[in-house]
Amino acid sequence: MNYKMIFKVLGYLLLIIAFGMIAPLIISAANNQNDLIPFAISISLTTLTGFILTKIPITKKKIKAKEGLAIVTFGWIFASLFGALPFYLSGSIPSYVDAFFETVSGFTTTGATIITDIEILPMGILFWRSFTHWIGGMGILVVAVAILPMMGAGGFHVFKAESPGPIADKIVPRIKDTAKILYVSYIIISLAEFILLLLGGMSPFESAVHTFGTLGTGGFSTRNSSIGAFNSSYIFIVISIFMIMSGANFSLYYDLYKGKWRDVIKNSELKLYLSIISISVIAITLNMNTHLYHNLFESFKHSLFQVSSIITTTGYTTFDYEQWTTFSKGILFMLMFVGGSAGSTGGSIKVIRILALIKLIKRELTKILHPRAIVSVKFGDKPVSEGTLLNISSFFMLYMMIFILGSIVISLEGIGFMGATSAVAATLGNIGPGFGFVGPTHTYADFSAFSKLLLSFFMLLGRLELFTVIALLTPKFWRTEL
């Protein structure tokens, strides 16, 4: 294990995190608020630690798969530990465990919060809180891959470990250029939403904050009532569209730029993703039009928003969906286990894995009817290797095992079955709000410190694709050469 290289990269990562705190520092200074000094101290401590780590002399620059996994996992932990400093030092979140929970929730784009009154927070804190979504959405280490020459070819191992989905494809041959293309697409789409929200009447500050929350599929807002506080159909629709866009594979936007429209239209994952959204929206619209709203447009508007928010694991709300019928809530609960596409900023199991599992079931049924038939599973025209299929099946089983065991442990809080299961589903799937004890009008503030740390661990597991984190917990990982 090349420990020196790992810590050196982590040092550069901390410098990136410190740089990210400059914008909220400026906002705090411009508005003469009491979080200026806490941000200055946080930047100083993060910069100093990062600078010391970058000065570690290294003899071996090569980053192998093992180092890639360690850099990504510890990178997210380091980012959360130091990213929590502004919350804690400003007194916005007096408990460091709570501040860590909030920061992990931000970077992993979960959106679960322990803050009961968001609207009293200083503007710098609100900005940093949502900016962590935007940084974590595309990937904290993807920035390092894009700007650090020292990463070299080994950057692919970092990129692969952090990329959401079973297959981490390079858009172009050089991984550094791939990272740059992804971030350029991310920035352009962010600017588009920012402008449209401005046109909808949001202030520049709130437009920026909600753009971060939407593109990062995180869901932190400046209002206690989330997006519902704006009471604007225009804003509801705009954010719904951009949530759906953020839940799609970002490499498809590069394909559109290159004129590969047919490839995008024929993409099987995108088809399933949009189909699930369409069917869910229609089903909930019809159900809620009959039982609650009695207005087709109102039913459609809230249905589109909430379906888009849950399947992309954003977590924004326009209405307390706990008041919906059991049928509609059941659909939302199932969507919590679907998630966005591979290569998106969304979390949970991912549409590509759901598609693979459907095709696997179809193949097994075909084999029963035609025992001698040789049937391969394909994504489009490309056959999927048995190794990838095994990885997807293993991931699904592990995901469900963690969900069940986690729900049992969290149930010790005495919050009831729905509260425990939805808390684990919402954190493991990086969604944020759930049902019951952690519904859209509740927070995670009443959990014990142990449960908050456990749920923070689930958030990291969900964002880093389970195997990345769990591999580091096995003694064999530290002994063998990968």
- Is 387 among the annotated ligand-binding positions? no
Burial class (CB in 10 A: 0-12, 13-18, 19+), 442: middle
Distance, in Å, from the CA atom of 412 to the CA atom of 318, rounded to the nearest integer, reads 31
Burial class (CB in 10 A: 0-12, 13-18, 19+), 311: buried
Q: Phi and psi (nearest 5°) for 378? A: -125, 145
Ordered DSSP codes for 195-252? HHHHHTT--HHHHHHHHHHHHTT----SSTTGGGGG--HHHHHHHHHHHHHHTS-THH
Q: Phi and psi (nearest 5°) for 379? A: -105, 105
- Is 436 among the annotated ligand-binding positions? no
- List b or e across 225-258, with b for residues whose CB sees 16 or more CB atoms inside 10 angstroms: bbbbbbebeebbbbbbebbbbbbbbbbbbbbeee
- Is 314 among the annotated ligand-binding positions? yes
Asked if residue 137 lies in contact with residue 219, where contact means CB atoms within 8 angstroms, the answer is: no
- Is 218 among the annotated ligand-binding positions? yes
- Is 312 among the annotated ligand-binding positions? no
Residue 377 Ramachandran class (φ > 0 left, ψ -120 to 50 alpha, else beta): beta
Structure-block tokens of residue 477: 């990982």
Q: Which residues are annotated as a binding site?
A: 109-110, 218, 313-314, 430
Q: Which residues are annotated as a binding site for K(+)?
A: 109-110, 218, 313-314, 430
